[in-house]
Amino acid sequence: MAITLTEKAAQRIRKLFEMHKMPEGSCLRIGVKGGGCSGFNYTLDVTEKPAADDEVFESHGVKVVVDPKSYLFINGTEVDYQDEMLKQSFVFNNPNAKHKCGCGSSFSA
């Protein structure tokens, strides 16, 4: 399976890359780390190029990279971007999550 972005999430990532003058070919790094109220927190970062052992995907013109350990927990995840009046955030639709916290930033697998 793959990690995908919705068109809205990809547009937001491209805009952020542009605003922060990221080098051409920069990648969105998605991962997980221990913590949060449900066990794992999602992480988003930028990298100039993938590591040798990264899983690499392309979604709506954005290159997405995931380290092998994180990939075990987020394989098949779709990342969306929510832009409501008082809340702007990336939303993770993770089929592997057994439980997620109320704010959606952490999960258990």
Residue keyed to tokens 């491209």: 14
Return the pLDDT at 106.
Answer: 58
Q: Which amino acid is at 95?
A: P
Q: How far apart are CA 8 and CA 49, in angstroms?
A: 23
Q: pLDDT at residue 108 above 80?
A: no
List the chain domain ranges.
Answer: 4-108
User: What digits encode the pLDDT tens for the residues 24-66?
Assistant: 999 999 999 987 666 788 999 999 999 999 999 999 999 999 9
Q: How far apart are CA 76 and CA 3, in angstroms?
A: 5
Q: pLDDT at residue 104 above 60?
A: no
- What fold characterizes domain 4-108? Hypothetical Protein Aq_1857; Chain: A; (2.60.300)
Lowest mean pLDDT among 8-22, 57-71, 77-91: 77-91
Return the pLDDT at 84.
Answer: 85
Query: Across the strands, what pairs with 90?
Result: 81
